Structure 1
Amino acid sequence: MPELPEVETVRRSLEALVVGKTIRDVIVSLPRMIRTPDDAEQFRQMLRGQIIERVGRRGKFLLLETGPYTLVSHLRMEGRYGVYQQEDPIEKHTHVIFQFTDGTELRYKDVRQFGTFDLLTRGDFSAVRGLRKIGPEPLEAAFTPEGLRKSLQRRTGKIKALLLDQDLVAGIGNIYADEALFQAGIHPECLGKNLTKEQCEKLHKAIVDVLSLSVELGGSSVKSYVNGFGKSGEFQYRLKVYGKDKAPCPNCGTAIEKIRVGGRGTHFCLQCQPMFKSL
């Protein structure tokens, strides 16, 4: 699933490609992707004539602002956007097409068909559960080491699982949780509430460092991810533990281990990320 760096990269590319364009019509070939309103024809009618004013992001959600509405798009596992000329052949697995008055189209493709769309009154995200109670953006000033520590102290659970909870920090998924914990030297099964102030400071820095670098490199194309220009990311070439089961640790040479934490595959180095007695 695309995480914060990938969605941010898509956001930036869409902002360059579609802001200022007027929607002439919308074609929906898979109506169940439209969650709000629950009628694809109403969705189409509401968007006709609207101008895309800006493209924002909250966590893993894309936010396309159009006058009175916010179109909330979640890419889920393999959703992707691309801008085409209207006469270009429509590729397989294209489920939603936004036709613009200038003859171009924003097309949404999704092989797994898990993506969702919610067209909401601007600023009202109450209909989207994932946005009702979402944590701070990790690349903004509101995300602080002390805030992270206080949030962890109020929770039970292992730190890897907690980092995947979007209520704690927005936008972190499996890839960046593993990479941040490795940089911070924290075992993924440590209880979050038992992390020391120093550990929270290291983890905060690691989260910011890892996400910032990934955004700079256009995200991670571990599977099928590309941005709105069709370009793959490059952070996958910088991964140190994620997907590196049995490979030597880049720091100490110990074989990277893979376990499951909270039902998710988790990669770490036991030498560099030791378990603590507090467990």
Structure 2
Amino acid sequence: MPELPEVETVRRGLEPVMAGALIERLELRRPDLRFPLPDALSERVSGRRILGLSRRAKYLLIDLDNGWTLLSHLGMSGSFRIEEGGQSEMPGEFHHARSKDEKHDHVVFHLVTGQGPVRVVYNDPRRFGFMDLFERREMESHPAFRDLGPEPLGNALQAGGLAARLAGKSQPLKGALLDQRLIAGLGNIYVCEALWRSHLSPLRKAGTLVRKSGRPAPQLETLVEAIRAVIAEAIEAGGSSLRDHIQTDGSLGYFQHSFAVYDQEGKPCRTEGCGGTVERIVQSGRSTFYCPSCQK
């Protein structure tokens, strides 16, 4: 499933085309994706102008000129394709083939832009993605957002606040960090990378990063900085592009080539002077990659 950097990459790719555009028509080629599409979605969105695109956690948000917001979650295989001037190109050498089969084109935005007509196509072979429509002013009470923790970038994520949520937890650190109520948008790949950078074991009890006083231990301060750094670098590189996820223009993100531990089972640990080997274990049904020699 695409993680936060992938969704941010999609947002940045779509924004130059979609921001300011008029939705002449929203074409729905099926009544549902993972869940049923909102009632009368086409009628409620067609004719509206797009004010801008934003992101919260792993959700793409399209703000309309009437105060409503269209939410899109990509699921396992969802993607957006931009078609302009009668051409649809996907340049780049892909890590995995990307679907261009029109039978998986489920939602089509017919846009009027300053440069002419443009189609933005949502394609989703597995249909694990979904869309919703809500009033922006009610965003904090929306089921998708009301329990989310702070974003992993910016000043919202602080070691002190994280310490309050981790205090007393005997849960393994990896599992705690995947809880979206703790940190919004942080997923499996980047938790593995951040823990490696922090030299913290994914098996360590989460509460051990909090002092008896309730203040964060130095290791937690280091972890917060590592989370910020790995997410920022992934966004800058254009996302991991693992499996069938690509950027909106079809090009491949390259952060995947700099993973230190994720999917590196059996390879030497990159920590200078470590000499250990990356191992793979399974936690709560997900693969965890780490170096048991230097991550404690």
> Do the two structures share a fold, i.e. TM-score over 0.5?
yes
Cα deviations by residue, 1:165-210 (Å, 9 ceiling, x for unpaired): 1110011111000000000011101111121411111110110110
Match for 2:44: what amino acid?
M
Matched, 1:176 2:186: no
Shift of 1:132: 1.7
Partner Cα distance (2:191, 2:163) in 1: 16
Distance 1:107 1:37, change over 3 A: closer
Shift of 1:85: 2.9
Aligned length: 272
Partner Cα distance (2:294, 2:197) in 1: 9
Q: Which runs of 5+ in 1 are unaligned?
A: 275-279
Q: Tell me the equivalent position of 2:213.
A: none
TM-score, length of structure 2 as denominator length: 0.87
Partner Cα distance (2:29, 2:118) in 1: 18
Percent of aligned pairs sharing the same letter: 37
Q: Which runs of 5+ in 2 are unaligned?
A: 89-99, 211-216
Q: Tell me the equivalent position of 1:45.
A: 43
Distance 1:179 1:199, change over 3 A: same
Describe how 1:67-146 pairs up with structure 2 within 5 A: 67=65, 68-85=67-84, 87=86, 91-92=101-102, 93-101=104-112, 102-125=116-139, 128-146=142-160
* Equivalent residues of 1:151, 1:168 under 8 A apart: yes
Q: Tell me the equivalent position of 2:264.
A: 244
| DSSP 3-state at the match of 1:77 | coil
Pick from 278, 281, 286: which aligns with 1:264?
286
* Equivalent residues of 1:79, 1:115 under 8 A apart: yes
RMSD of aligned Cα (Å) = 1.9
Partner Cα distance (1:88, 1:261) in 2: 44
Q: Tell me the equivalent position of 1:230.
A: 250
Partner Cα distance (1:258, 1:229) in 2: 33
Partner Cα distance (2:122, 2:146) in 1: 25
Cα deviations by residue, 1:18-75 (Å, 9 ceiling, x for unpaired): 1111001111123212857643xx0000001011111000000001000221011101
Shift of 1:86: 7.3
Which segment is superposed worse, 216-225 or 124-133? Answer: 124-133
Partner Cα distance (2:177, 2:122) in 1: 29
